[in-house]
C-alpha cells in the first residue's frame, strides 16, 4: 500500500545562501542539493526547504515534524572565540545565526534533528563546543576531503547502544567531504562515532528523542538511507 502524503512527516531542511544562475538570471538564491530532497523523500518524508530568515525560527519549526541542518560553508570561528585559520574557507555568519536559532528551537520543543557535516559542527558550536578549523593539520592526511568536489570514504565505528548504532549498526563506511571537525565537545553532546584516525564522526544530544549530528554526508549514499529513515520514524512519533 502506497502511503498518502498525509502519512508522511514534513522534514524541514536548512538551505544554502548562494549566488546562482538559472535562465537569464544570476542572483542570490536559497538553494539545496537535490540529494537531500531525494534522501528525505526515499525515506518516507516530505522535504520542506527552510530559507535563512532574520527571525521566525520557532514559527518555521512549528510547521515541520523534523529538522535537517544541511552541509555548507565553514562556521565563523568568532562563534566559538577563535581567530580565523589561514585555510578557513568563506563563512556565512547570517546562516550560522539562523541555524543556531533553528537548533535551539528544535531542542526546546524536542523536534527530531539530524545535523549533516556542517550541521554537526553547528550543533557543537551552538551548545558551547569548538572546531578544528583545518583537520589536515591534526591528522596529517586529506582522506576526509581528498580534492575539490571529490568525496572521501571513511570507516566509522559507532557506539553500541547509541541511537545511531541502532539505525546503522556498529561499523559503517561513509562518504565524507570536510576539512573541519569537532574539537572541544559541548557538554550536552555524547560522542558516539569516530573515524579510524580518531576524528569525531557522530554525536547525539543527551536527553532528546532524536538529535544526531554526523560529520559525513548520508544524503550522498543510498545505502545510508537508514539514517534518514530513522529521522522520519522519529518525526512520525512527533505527529502521534
- What residues are annotated to the active site? 117, 217, 219
Residue 124: other Cβ atoms inside 10 A: 25
Give start and end residues of each alpha helix (H) in the chain.
34-42, 57-62, 93-108, 118-126, 136-139, 163-168, 225-239
First to last CA, the chain: 20
Q: What are phi and psi of 174, to 5 degrees?
A: -130, 150
Question: What are the Cα distances from residue 93, in Å, to 89, 113, 168, 192, 202?
Answer: 12, 21, 33, 28, 24
Question: Among 144, 154, 148, 136, which residue's Cα sits nearest to residue 224?
Answer: 154
| Residue tagged 545505502 (cell numbers) | 223
The answer to whether 94 touches 217, Cβ cutoff 8 Å, is: no
Amino acid at each position: 500500500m502506497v502511503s498518502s502524503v498525509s502519512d508522511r512527516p514534513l522534514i524541514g531542511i536548512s538551505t544554502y545562501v548562494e549566488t546562482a544562475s538559472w535562465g537569464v538570471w544570476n542572483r542570490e538564491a536559497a538553494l539545496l542539493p537535490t540529494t537531500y530532497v531525494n534522501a528525505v523523500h526515499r525515506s518516507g518524508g516530505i522535504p520542506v526547504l527552510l530559507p535563512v530568515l532574520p527571525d521566525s525560527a520557532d514559527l518555521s519549526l512549528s510547521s515541520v515534524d523534523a529538522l535537517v541542518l544541511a552541509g555548507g560553508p565553514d562556521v565563523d570561528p568568532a562563534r566559538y572565540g577563535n581567530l580565523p585559520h589561514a585555510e578557513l574557507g568563506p563563512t556565512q555568519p547570517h546562516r550560522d545565526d539562523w541555524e543556531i536559532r533553528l537548533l535551539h528551537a528544535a531542542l526546546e520543543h524536542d523536534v527530531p534533528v539530524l545535523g549533516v557535516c556542517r550541521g554537526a559542527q553547528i550543533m557543537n558550536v551552538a551548545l558551547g563546543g569548538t572546531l578544528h578549523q583545518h583537520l589536515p593539520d591534526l591528522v596529517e592526511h586529506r582522506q576526509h576531503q581528498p580534492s575539490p568536489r571529490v568525496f572521501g570514504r571513511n570507516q566509522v565505528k559507532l557506539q553500541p547502544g547509541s541511537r545511531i548504532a541502532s539505525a546503522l549498526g556498529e561499523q559503517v563506511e561513509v562518504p565524507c567531504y570536510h576539512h573541519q571537525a569537532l574539537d572541544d565537545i559541548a557538554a550536552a553532546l555524547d560522542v558516539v562515532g569516530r573515524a579510524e584516525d580518531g576524528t569525531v564522526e557522530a554525536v547525539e544530544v543527551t536527553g532528546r528523542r532524536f538529535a544526531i549530528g554526523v560529520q559525513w554526508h548520508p544524503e550522498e549514499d543510498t545505502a545510508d538511507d537508514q539514517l534518514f529513515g530513522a529521522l522520519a520514524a522519529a518525526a512520525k512519533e512527533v505527529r502521534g
